[in-house]
Chains A and B, each alone.
Chain A
Amino acid sequence: MTLLVEWIKAALLEVQEYFIMVGKTARAAVTRPFYVRDIVEQFEIIGIGSLTVVLLTGMFTGMVLALQSGFTLDQFGARSMVGRLVSASMVKELGPVLTALMVAGRVGSGIAAELGSMMVTDQIAALRALGTDPIRKLVLPRILAGLVMVPLLTCVSVAVGLVGGWITTETQLKVASGVYWNSVVMGLYMQDVWMGLIKPFFLGFAIVSIGCHVGLRTSGGTQGVGRATTNAVVASSVAVLVVNFLVTKLLIVLMY
């Protein structure tokens, strides 16, 4: 019982610290000073740096989606409708979620490891001693980059996924290009597009803010950094799935 109480207290403390960090970041976003160079640098690291993995993920997801749904649709003689399935799945769910999971693996772990190493080697304390607020210098640039770049990466991933689906449909399923692309457009409604565009903002924020929080709470030397990295990936991946469900539910209520 005592163990359970201790665990709950520790969990609540983590949640409290997380929201304090988010609050401080929100304040830092609207007050000076801004570290513009760090912001630009993080846009490049999080955005450009994740491009390859997101391109590959999007492409192969679109390809396998077309392949699987093509064979299923064949049972109903509806192979020509494959574009609808690919576009609806990629735009609404797979694009945002898989992109976010890839970014969580690559960026979330990187942020936790970097900030964690800075914590255990006193670099964060040194920053504060030199008069820099670590939230402004380290957290805000990363969160801004997550908010902007994850939606952009999602758009790229979806576009590449649709192209991947087209390649498979054309070469494996022998469906004409015009039929595929017409089906892609027919399968999409504006609400779907909005959903695909809005969700990545929440997912990007969740991934990066969790990475920063876990990194800044690191203790226990190099072993602690390893633990923090693992925790960041696990927590942000689970958060992606939970936030995705909650935001999807909310958007369905609001838009459909």
Chain B
Amino acid sequence: MAVQREARSALLDEALGPGGPIVVFDKVSLAFDEKTILNEISFTLKTGHTKIFLGASGAGKSTILRLILGLLKPDAGMIFVNGDRIDDMTEDQMMHVRGDLGMVFQEGALFDSLTVRENVGYKLFEESKVPFADANHRVEEVLGFVGLAEFIDRQPSELSGGQRRRVAIARAMAAKPRILLYDEPTTGLDPITAITIDEEIMKLRDLEGVSSIVVTHQLRDAFYVAEHSAVQDGDRIRFDRATPDKADEAEFIMLRDGRIAFEGNATELREVAARDRYIDAFLS
């Protein structure tokens, strides 16, 4: 029952290695009552790559993340995560899949009654057999990674909005998942704080090899994450403009009326915007 990142077989490891299909949606549909949220959505997230979902409020962006986590079940279609078909899994079976997933919820969703240390180390302390000292060390490490080491014993209520999101990122990455899901990670934050969150996303993607799905309607952040990359430079980390190959690893998907209205990289999105009034209106 407890969440643990399971070792994959050598064959699966090779198949899901760099460029392999780590998350696959195949004609996934979902409706709430009479309202269609997703209508035969198909896409593939490759290992180490980033998918950025854009779309109006209620377009089904966050729903996709909840489907990947198994918090919702689709009405039709297949979903594969890490080589496992998850759309027909029970809650108990999903616990194993979730061992390799991290989710940064909108507003952070930190546990109010726990300290930052307990929040970040929750999965390690409560749901794994990692010795306490090792878990604690990992918590300090990830909090250092997001630049909040000195806040370790604070309560979430003592943190600013941006700090809460960074703690949420630290919590999501603490158990070293291969896939990270971000639900509106920068919404409601000032531009400077939003950039620090974007840089955390890039650091995890480019330095830790984490595959990411980012749901947002903050275009500036979306393009920043897609067109830049984190580079380790000695003890420092630089954020440079991505090479064309690297930029191709970040793909945009725009949802409209439950369907995919656009799928492609940042350059293609700008080109399409010149022809498509809806996408142009969305981008401008």
Contacts and interface: CB of A to CB of B under 8 A. Distances in A.
B101 A129 contact: yes
Interface string A120-149: 011101111111110000000000000000
B147 to A, nearest CB: 22
A31 B1 CA distance: 10
Contacts of A249: none
Contacts of A121: 107, 109, 112
Task: Output the residue of A35, A117, A127 with the most chain B CB within 10 A.
Answer: A127
B103 interface: yes
Interface in B1-47: 1-3
Nearest to B113: A114
Contact of B122 (A32, A130, A133): A130
A33 interface: yes
B66 interface: yes
Contact of A125 (B2, B66, B99, B127): B66
Interface in B98-122: 98-99, 101-103, 105-107, 109-112, 122
A96 B252 CA distance: 62
Contacts of A126: 103, 105, 109-111
Contacts of A35: 126
A123 B69 contact: no
Given A32-B1, A33-B2, A123-B112, A129 B107 contact: no
A128 B112 CA distance: 16
Contact of B69 (A33, A117, A129, A133): A129
Interface residues of B, number: 25
Given A123-B112, A125-B71, A131 B95 contact: yes
Contacts of A117: 112
B71 A128 contact: yes
A133 B91 contact: yes
Contacts of B203: none
Interface in A62-119: 117
A130 B3 contact: yes
Contacts of B127: 130-132
B73 interface: no
Nearest to A35: B126
Contacts of B101: 129
Interface string A11-47: 0000000000000000000011101000000000000
Nearest to A24: B91
Interface string B67-108: 001010000000000000000000100010011011101110
B268 to A, nearest CB: 32
Contacts of B51: none
A127 B107 CA distance: 15
Contacts of A133: 1, 91, 95
A123 B106 CA distance: 11
Nearest to B128: A131
B123 interface: yes
A123 B122 CA distance: 12
Nearest to A117: B112
A125 B181 CA distance: 13
Interface of B: 1-3, 66, 69, 71, 91, 95, 98-99, 101-103, 105-107, 109-112, 122-123, 126-127, 171
7 contacts: A33-B1, A125-B109, A128-B69, A128-B71, A129-B103, A131-B98, A133-B1
Given A128-B91, A131-B2, A133-B91, 20 more contacts: A31-B1, A32-B1, A122-B106, A123-B110, A123-B111, A125-B69, A125-B71, A125-B105, A126-B103, A126-B105, A126-B111, A128-B69, A129-B102, A130-B123, A130-B126, A130-B127, A131-B98, A131-B99, A132-B122, A132-B127
